[in-house]
A and B are shown apart, each in its own frame.
Chain A
Amino acid sequence: MFKEYTKITNIIGDIIELSAEGVTYRELAAITNHNGDTSLAQVIRIDGSKVSLQVFAGAKGMSNRASVRFLGHPMRVPYSEDLLGRIFSGSGKPIDGKPEIANAAETDIGGPSVNPVKRVVPRNFIETRIPMIDIFNPLVESQKLPIFSTPGEPFNELLARIALQAKADIVILGGIGLKFDEYIGFRRKFEEGGIMDRTVMFVHTAADPVVERLLVPDMALAVAEQFGIAGKRVLVLLTDMTAFADALKEISVAMEQVPSNLGYPGSLYSDLASRYEKAVDFEGAGSITVLAVTTMPGGDVTHPVPDNTGYITEGQYYLVNGMINPFGSLSRLKQLVIGKVTRDDHGAVMNAMIRLYAKALESKKKISMGFEKTETDEKYLRYADLFEERFMDLRVDIPLNDALDLGWKTMAECFDRFEIGVKKEVVDARWPKGA
């Protein structure tokens, strides 16, 4: 029923062009190269009879006599409960040695946006047992948050830990340009942590064709959407979104689009937003929470990728020197849960501890500049050490309420109750006995 074409006119980067009729925009095509290699490709431009396709497996070694068969539908991903525990490549093929998903319903990727009036105000706290998140910038169900970091930082370890501890119904990992070791790292941790049976992984490794990177977030989010509608609370992990943006750049340059900033396409903001905005709380059904990693080239937050991301997401976690930095990090939705669904002293502890830590850093700076160390400085220095050891160290693993108690204990060990700048009633109720 589908006509086959065997005359490719142009090959530019990973894009091929040929003359074809009756092709629809974003339609998928199956390509068989002269040596028998196969790949999928997607229509990205039609100009009269000239059709441009991006080839998922890349156009390396592509013959201009390769056969192109249009499939009559856009890119789809299978969806069923059988996906759980499975691992797929960036083009949706199983890479865990198990068979293809049979008899599953298929869903289009990159589907329409959620109607804003059908969204609800987020209200559920997600406990991660990481105090720098839970106390200072709590994660809220349906939030979209990136981890801003630099290569070499343990952001993937952090993502994996959150996945293990966050008690989501379903975890979906979208790996974009992952190193092979990182991919295996995720897999092992998920297996050891016993969450593999409620996890779906879409993994594109750095060795895979660039075009496949573009599909990973869309596939992960399309599957997440189906689980969400079915009432599941889904946590989607995307790492690394900078690699995704770089793939967008490669394709747009090959398409001769006018670049806007550092070679990225002018649509970078919309392209990122249409993915992140899939985070949603479906009224009367499940939800999608998106945690992503955005590595900042050269540690520069004004680079177009982190910059555009910051405008889209609801806050960010800064992971610097192996710790979540409490100052640059922000959860925009935190006031929806702090003290409302969490303990009533949460807000007071959060503010007091941060303020004290900021002062402690000032003391440190002062002393390093050669000023004299006062008695007050001693208190603050002691506090800074305890704070870093008990809260900032990424290995710390405690529930929120224990962390809040530990906060009171730490403040009581270093300061007098009048020095912490908290309302009297709250201090009276929570100040450790005997301190």
Chain B
Amino acid sequence: MIDSSLTTGHVVGINGNMMAVEVDTGSVVQNEVAFVKLPDSKLKAEVIKVIGKKCFLQVFEDTTGISVGMPVEFTGNMLAVELGPGLLGQIYDGLQNPLTLLENKQQFFLQRGQYKEPIDRSKKWDWKPLVAVGDRVRAGQWIGEVPEKFITHRVLTPLGMHGTAVVKKILPEGAYPITEKVAELDVNGKTVTLTMSQEWPVKKAIKAYKERIYPEELLITRQRIIDTLFPISRGGTSCIPGPFGAGKTVLQHLISKFSSVDLVIVVACGERAGEVVELIHEFPEMKDPKTGGSLMDRTIIICNTSSMPVAAREASVYTGITLGEYYRQMGLDVLVLADSTSRWAQAMREMSGRLEEIPGEEAFPAYLESRIAGLYERAGLVQLHNDKHGAVTLIGTVSPAGGNFEEPVTQATLKVVGAFLGLSRKRSDERKFPAIDPLDSYSLYIDQMADSLNKNLDREWTKMVHEAEELLRRGAEIGKMMTVVGEEGISIDDLVAYLKSEMLDFTYLQQNAFDDIDCAATIERQVADFKLLYKALKTPFSFETKPEARKFFVALQDNFYQKNYAAESSPEYAKFVSKIEEIIVSGGGRLV
């Protein structure tokens, strides 16, 4: 470790949130944190470029009032987050300041220069040791555990430790605060004292696991179009691009509410504050479908909304993914939602412009792609050294300028994600929710997970899904044809195919986000509903006239639609199922 505790400097320039500093004494570390001292406060900044004795820092706060000559203190540490029990249920800003603790005289505003401890120091945790004196341990190993909300929080050895160490001391069971010295390790002859918390630099991935494994298991979001058509795997990555007003945020909220994971980290990055406010007020009232506890208990919100400082916005996404990686080390299944990665990319662009770097496309920096790839690659399913599995799944929204997916952020993201859920303006204008375009979107996981899907859901599952996709494509083509030649110009068979694809779209791909039942479908229900629908789609109905065909499908479609509002395994549900089967038979289909 470089001792840079003595490094000091002074401001020589300021342009927006970029500050130029000349180093007086000591060494500088790229990406280390420094503080600039104003008469009334100290502002946090990060070194982002070093040129000889001069270095450039991005300041995480409003820079009004900074002047040439003001002293700067370098900390020698990279921007880091504190990891330990007590993170769940918290609302942080991009730098892990707990927003509920930030105060000022008017109570309403975020006064700059306030940095609070991210984790409560006074709370006591029921500690249980998991190792004994003399045990050999390695980085990220579980040395003890405490109950945190609904999960068992494992206390880890230092995540960045090299090689192995020997446990010299370990505290017995008892209630301790996170600052308590719970263990002592002998690391190559040096004694290291451990507490329940540790720090980790956000821009470095946590890799204290045995290996990454191929993700083959389904992450259930309870959104039919996602789980059935464009599934995301546990430990996979996905992006949701869409123009404004296409329902990105509503979809993200539903995913965060209903996904079958142990915990969810929501990163509100550069978006409207109002949306976070809804989460903050709704989540404590809502039930976690898995534990029955409050949804807030399994959630961490990182909130750096659009009017908060831009540099901290850039950090917020890293803060979120780092917390996710930390909980993955405990063998948990974590979902990280980043809304929106475009704002994060724009934060990089603003800084790149101030550094006068040579711009790439649309003035984004040339390293945009590698940064985006680096972020998504931090997701993944891993096998820990104790052979338990943990996962971080990352879903990012993208807000493409003008709703045009050809722009650099969308394109760079597409290269690295496994599932692309593109929202279309046309579908949202038609009030179709989710407005995921079934013809544009894709998921690489459907084939990657084929074995597990066919084993767990239905023997024929992936085949049925591919056929459904094919039908949608055919329906769209016929629909296009009809706009030119009218209904008169197509054959009855084509009309039937068209009506089938419309029915699939209307009764299965769309969901009512505001209905208590229809807003979320369990995977069991999806399997049953999809198989019934598939039966209707595969039946070769024959009709004499087109009006007859239309009339038939109106009745069939309505029953499928009404069934969506009936509770799973309720008498109404059963009634609709038998009614649907009746209609299928009446139309010439046979029940097997």
Contact = CB atoms under 8 A, between A and B. Distances in A.
Interface residues of A, number: 62
Contact of A116 (B62, B99, B362, B401): B99
B514 A277 contact: no
B272 A277 contact: yes
A312 B108 contact: no
Nearest to B109: A112
Q: From B69, B244, B359, name the one whose CB has the most chain A CB atoms within 10 angstroms.
A: B244
Interface stretch (B10-18, B210-218, B459-467, B541-549): B10-18
A113 B346 contact: no
A139 to B, nearest CB: 14
Contact of B109 (A47, A114, A266): A114
Nearest to A275: B307
B108 A115 contact: yes
B14 A115 contact: no
Nearest to B250: A332
Nearest to B274: A314
A229 B107 CA distance: 10
Contacts of A312: 272, 306
B100 A270 contact: no
A46 B107 CA distance: 33
A349 B424 CA distance: 27
A120 B308 CA distance: 18
Interface string A1-30: 000000000000000000001111111000
Interface string B34-78: 000000000000000000000000000011111111000000000
Interface stretch (A182-190, A200-208, A242-250, A252-260): A252-260
A415 interface: no
A46 B272 contact: no
Contacts of B364: 260
Nearest to B68: A46
A332 B150 CA distance: 34
Q: From A113, A114, A327, name the one whose CB has the most chain B CB atoms within 10 angstroms.
A: A113
B108 A118 contact: yes
A179 interface: no
A310 interface: yes
A116 B306 contact: no
Contacts of B359: 258
Given A23-B68, A46-B68, A74-B65, A307 B109 contact: no
A311 interface: yes
A285 B106 CA distance: 11
B14 A46 contact: yes
B363 A259 contact: yes
Given A47-B13, A49-B68, A304 B277 contact: no
B14 A266 contact: no
Contacts of A71: none
A24 B278 contact: no
A114 B402 contact: no
A21 B112 CA distance: 25
Given A45-B14, A46-B13, A277-B273, A113 B305 contact: yes
A260 B407 CA distance: 12
A267 interface: yes
A46 B15 contact: yes
27 contacts: A24-B65, A25-B14, A26-B64, A45-B13, A46-B15, A46-B67, A47-B13, A48-B12, A48-B68, A111-B109, A113-B109, A113-B305, A114-B273, A117-B100, A118-B107, A258-B356, A258-B363, A266-B346, A270-B306, A283-B108, A307-B402, A307-B403, A308-B401, A312-B306, A314-B272, A315-B245, A333-B274
Interface of B: 12-16, 20, 62-69, 91, 99-100, 102, 106-112, 243-245, 270, 272-274, 276-278, 280-281, 303, 305-308, 310, 343, 346, 349-350, 353, 356, 359, 362-364, 399, 401-404, 429, 514
Given A277-B306, A285-B108, 11 more contacts: A23-B68, A108-B64, A116-B99, A258-B356, A266-B353, A267-B16, A270-B307, A273-B270, A273-B307, A307-B244, A310-B244
Closest 7 CB pairs of A and B: A302-B402, A273-B306, A277-B307, A310-B244, A260-B363, A113-B307, A24-B67
